[in-house]
Amino acid sequence: MTLTDQCPRCGQIETTKHLLWECHRVANIWTIYNDFMNSIGRPESKICQYKDVFTVGINGGTTMIKIKLIQELIQIRRPTNWVSKHFETMVEEMVKLECYNSKKNHTEYNFKTKWEFLKN
What is the percentage of the chain residues whose pLDDT exceeds 90? 70
At 120, is the pLDDT very low, low, confident or very high (cuts 50, 70, 90)? low
pLDDT at 9 over 90: no
The partner residues of 6 in beta bridges, in order of sequence, read 13
Instruction: Give the pLDDT confidence score for residue 44 in this predicted structure.
Output: 93
Record the pTM: 0.86
The secondary structure of residue 23, as a DSSP letter, is: S
Mean pLDDT calculated for residue range 32-59? 93
Collapsing DSSP states into helix, strand and coil, what is residue 94? helix
> Span 62-88, mean pLDDT?
88
pLDDT at 11: 85
Helix, strand, or coil (residue 52) = helix
